[in-house]
Structure 1
Amino acid sequence: MRDLNTVHLNGLRAVEAAGRLGSLAAAADELGVTPGAVSQQIAKAEAQLGRVLFERTPRGLLPTDFGERFLARISNAFHELAEAVASARRRDESVLTISVAPVFAARWLVYRLNRFAERHPDIRLRIDATTKLVNLDTSDVDVGIRVGTGEWPGVKSEPLLQQEVFPVCSPAMAEGLRKPADILKLPAVIDGHSMFSWEVWLREVGLSGAEVNVRHTFNEASLVLDAAISGQGVMLAWQTLAGFAIAQGSLVVPFGIRVPTGFGHYFVSAPSRRESKAAKAFKRWVRDEVEEGMRLLDIKAPRVRFDAATMG
């Protein structure tokens, strides 16, 4: 252990982060410092070790032969340290920390929490509503729910629900809709940060390239939903966002044409972490609630296939 005193820990952290993430910029973002500071810490670590760990090239840092061997060992060491810190934070397994996007928390999860408490009165949930992709290895998050393709580095992902999109609007606004092309006559409210556009749905109904009549653009899907509920425009929504409002009758689905976006909802967790009984119970409950939500959506807005002859 004495040899460890000859090298600063911050330098080793900078070396490990740069080697694992592949760039000074990414390492700086994770460590909360500047790329220049990371570069200086690496240089100090190399001087203290008396060995060159990286080659400086136009493409960035490339580990030397020794650097590759060294990185493999310190990466394992930092992983063990991260696990030790995380385990200290998880002293009480009756508290389950869940990471979800704010819109999922507000429009899907919060409406159902009473049912979870009734089924599992011994488990307390702590909801971390954020769009930031937290480091599951080093954080106290037990289970996350993310939307994407399911391919995130350093996490274990399990599919929950394939995302489908469909227009929704207030009941009054839907009265004049007879065919998909009528959507283009209505004002639309838009999520400016959405991962998809109206073209996904318009293409499916034979209206590829058409432009919707944008009334307002928001930077948050939950605000777009509120605007649609208040009758300000038609919205392109998805199951977990609009399901509750549809079940309550404040929104309707004028056409039962639902189109996959290529994305989905996934459970995510740290691959090296033991899954607790509470985490397993939460995931089972979420799956049951998703299944029930889809059943209600199918009742309120039966799924149909687009037929140009009858709906075009």
Structure 2
Amino acid sequence: MNIVHLNGLRAVEATGRLGSLKAAAEELGVTIGAVSQQIIKTEQQLDRIFFERGPRGLVLTPAGESLMPRLKGGFDLLDQAVASARQRDEKILTISVAPVFAARWLVPRLDRFALTHPDISLRIDATTKLANLETSDVDIGIRVGTGEWPGLRIEPLLAQEVFPVCAPAIAETLREPADILQCGAVIDARSMFSWETWLRTVGLSGAQMKVRHVFNEASLCIDAAIAGQGVMLAWQTLAGDALIEGRLKAPFRVRAKTGFGHYFVTSPTRRETTVVAAFKAFVRDEIERSMRQIDGPR
């Protein structure tokens, strides 16, 4: 260890585990070039080649394949040692959520949580990456998916449904589902589902929407829809508050199931603290409240 830098070993381990320099650079928070240089330096220090460099990227050599399990095990032990050394303050709750869920649904409701739990401080980790709940300081995550995250405790929160939303002025022009085909659509380029999901539900399978704008963030799509720039295929927690406040309208009551849902995710090996239980109860109550408001007269 006196002749090999720890950062170099981290670069080798991350690249071997994730399968690419790009993925390793994103995890380590450095550039692809920095990861490559760290690997080269480590190979020189140990006089071994761990990756073959070819047109399809990096492939582990026999020396790399032999090293990887030991290297991964070593970093796992370091992670566990650091986690166990931390003093967990059970009055501080760290929550991992997607940025769009945090901005559009969770954050506007945190004042109500603070009123009933003034002794609890919240830390919001807004990210699309699922944290390692065994070794990080994240206490609970809220994620959207099919609920298939091996090694985690999964609790369903809300089945995800999608439906068109638009500004009130546009909604007034829509009488039946086919009318929406004449509207410009605001598209979320990173969405896990397309307009076909809803169109199929209303008997318009195969019909094509007129694309007006494309954004790489769902939150921007909502802003564009509120501004009257087109119709968006949204879901409950994304568009809920704008619907409740009247800034958006859902012109049709038909909602399409996506097979996805919102879930609580927690570590199966950590005991559930009273703080985590309080937050989960709060979120469930708020979900029920907002869904009742959305389902009311429109």
TM-score relative to the length of structure 2: 0.81
One-letter amino acid of the structure 2 residue matched with residue 180 of structure 1: P
Aligned to 2:43: 43
Q: Secondary structure at the match of 1:256?
A: coil
> Is 1:178 the equivalent of 2:175?
yes
CA contact (8 A) 1:161 1:265 kept: yes
1:180: Cα distance to partner?
0.6
What 5-or-longer segments of structure 2 have no aligned partner?
Answer: none
Q: Secondary structure at the match of 1:17?
A: helix
One-letter amino acid of the structure 2 residue matched with residue 218 of structure 1: F
One-letter amino acid of the structure 1 residue matched with residue 258 of structure 2: T
Percent identical pairs in the alignment equals 63
Task: Report the number of matched residues.
Answer: 293
Q: In 1, Cα distance between the equivalents of 2:41 and 2:249? A: 57
Aligned to 1:76: 73
Q: In 2, Cα distance between the equivalents of 1:282 and 1:216? A: 37
CA contact (8 A) 1:12 1:45 kept: no
Aligned to 1:143: 140
Aligned to 2:112: 115
Give the 5 Å matches for 1:94-105: 94-105=91-102
One-letter amino acid of the structure 2 residue matched with residue 246 of structure 1: L
CA contact (8 A) 2:189 2:215 kept: yes
Deviations 1:110-156 (A, max 9, x none): 22112212332221112232345555555433222222334457765
Aligned to 1:106: 103
TM-score relative to the length of structure 1: 0.77
1:157: Cα distance to partner?
4.4
Deviations 1:23-44 (A, max 9, x none): 4543343233535225325524
Q: In 2, Cα distance between the equivalents of 1:9 and 1:262? A: 43
Aligned to 1:258: 255
Aligned to 2:246: 249
One-letter amino acid of the structure 2 residue matched with residue 221 of structure 1: A
Q: Secondary structure at the match of 2:174?
A: coil
What 5-or-longer segments of structure 1 have no aligned partner?
Answer: 302-312
Q: Of 133, 151, 165, which residue of structure 1 is paired with 2:162?
A: 165
Distance 1:205 1:219, change over 3 A: same
Deviates more, 1:104-113 or 1:124-133: 124-133
1:108: Cα distance to partner?
0.7
